[in-house]
Structure 1
């Protein structure tokens, strides 16, 4: 049986014709309503206090009549499946949504299995319709439309996959991603294309967007990218150190969208397929740079000049007239994206950072330090305190500050003979002359260990004794550190020195000198011996 629905305007028209004194036949012919219906509406109006020919009928009266005579089908009776499942409604609810907060509800497939095990055999589709009707299973929640932001207040950022484009750096086709930055008030947008989604690509894309817009918004809503957000949390997210530093440098607030909630950034979310379908697909691209050049032109000439489906305005015109002046100024140098890392100081006093090595003071050996590196400097922190800086080295490079080494190891590691000579001269004049003689020649580095030992002798025996020993060794042209130490050990550093030329030399009696005749043996001549025979 079909029902003819009547609206408020149809009832009002009938009442107005009755008020003007038209007959039921004429009203039926004009409005296509039956006489019984017309009489019923007139009777209800009179019950509500209306008098034909008196007061003019209004919408309020027609609405009251409509509410009393609202047509419609009878309430549907439960079907066979519903009659079978209704006695078990409480059990099904407890399976899908247990009362305990610590327990997770069962999947509907498991509920279907449990019902079958109890002998309640229904189709899975019928069970799905039943729980949707009686248990609000996966029913869509009501939503509200958020208030529109003010000019220059919010920008939404998101990555989207475009397709394959040739990359000359690796000589093959690679996936190209688009980083979209959409201004929420004007819907004006900028698109940055990249082959990866690293933190450096994210920051470079946002920097290009600020330069394109010639200003910065107060707040940036972005997805929970792994390189930008260390811990995704609705209430207390933890941001990646470099991205937080960038936000502070540019002066905007990071506002990550809720996890797995695309409605948290709807404006840029809907722009991703628009860029892919309207701009990227169906075109022939040479490389990423070609896509980027055409993308900027497309943002200005196509996306910016179209009539937006929600605002019914042209985004570029709204941006130029209302939003551009509300943006914070984009000034200063381009952000130098730093790299952060946790490194361990090795026993050789160095850390490895970005494929280069840097020295650290000796007291931090075998400890973990925090390293920040950019294009100019590498800064090393220990428990938040800056302990060392180095100029940034290219991969494979090395930056060593030899003052980081222990003092006793510095000279040898420097391999600097002049430094050792200066240290020896500070310990004594003859010690300095001895070091100069020791390190003379074309290859002084071969005697570095002896020079080191010479410096250590002063610490062991005192500078005075070593200086006297060096004086004696120089006098005898005895340039050898081991024999110099023997002079000290035997206490000969105070003995006399060889006389100068021209002076009388007094020879001491040798201890083992034999008499002159000890090696003289008497013998006869050979001729005398022969005559005697």
Structure 2
């Protein structure tokens, strides 16, 4: 009886009479006889194999055999479990045979064991459509017959695509309606399928969809870059179904047919108000489909999935895939790539290397040769730096530990003006390393030129809005002072009309000091000389300035009515 079923199991799998004869050890004449009787009947192969033993013997005109083999019966009882376990990773025929012969020391040889197991599995393939290792592949496709949603305002129909995915070993199925067969919708639907299954297979097998495959090829198809990036993110590979090879996609096509039969009829008009409500109805019907007992079996797709396939899937990544924009960039000498005006760090060993940067509105991922080397949160600050300390060489990491607090504390002791200036430098200059170095440089001027000049320089730089290049601001002040120092005759008009602030006092002191005894200076004022001390507003500085002005000076006092009054100015 087993031999008879095996003959038609192999025949249904595409084997010819010669191959069946070789595998089962039955003469070709006998096999041809069986095939002739079958082909002359009106039965389908499935109907034939569903018949019991007595009916089959009657159908082929055979008398039931009286031979009984306990050894064969014992092995036959084990074959379903062996075939099921063999689909799991790491389980080999040799391991199963070792288990069998240990249990039945007088059992069949390894060669005979393999022959019976192979014959059973070939028969099982025909009936159960199970041909793949658990967790190995995921087949995806779009249904040929579309569904539709209805605009609740206008009543207009909008046709939508139906995405179908199936894990072949358990036949566990996922179905979702999407707006189109675009790359974006395909990637999102496949992502939802993986989340539905709760894991990732080794391979994703699309049916040469345009959104997944650029150029189909019987040997090595060219995969769409974005779909390949999606698969890489989930640590899977894309293996398109071969062109004109129906066996490569038979399972997903069967899943599509079952979608037509079991999902579509469950969709009502009230479910079509939006894509979301349509998918809710699809999920409800899909739940029933996956929980339905398989034909001729005692378990459902869900039970089969939970039993043998779920544990074989790889875990989902922590961060789900988002469709990325892509740029090819070179890692700069500072260990960063510049993306849309912002700098993101990569491990310093990649300096000078070409990398591929994928970015969304929220995240930045940097790859080299499909290997993820850095991840960052997207930052929109222009000319800013996002740096992971571990990416830098050991010597550079020390600088990132710089604390600006001591610099701000010292600046406050000098003058609040300096503190405010350093605070802006720290806020605007990134990374912190560069800001701390600038703070050190600024504070070093206290020893070089004194507090007053440092305060004046900070005020002047703030007025110019210069915070990244203090030396440039300082240089411009010195250049102006040098220019004034070389002027043969300097006229300071309307002196003392307003009290001088710290910056003005410091600059006036510099000017008088540089010109004293060298060049001529005229100071014109409408207030008496005695009131200049009050205008300078600092007794110590005023004494120093007035000592240099009055010593050796010629005083001219004008009397009469003001020319402004005379001209009505």
User: Into which bin does the TM-score normalised by the smaller protein fall?
Assistant: 0.3 to 0.5
Instruction: Point out the structure with max Rg over C-alpha.
Output: 1
TM-score (norm 1): 0.46
Higher helix share: 2
TM-score (norm 2): 0.44
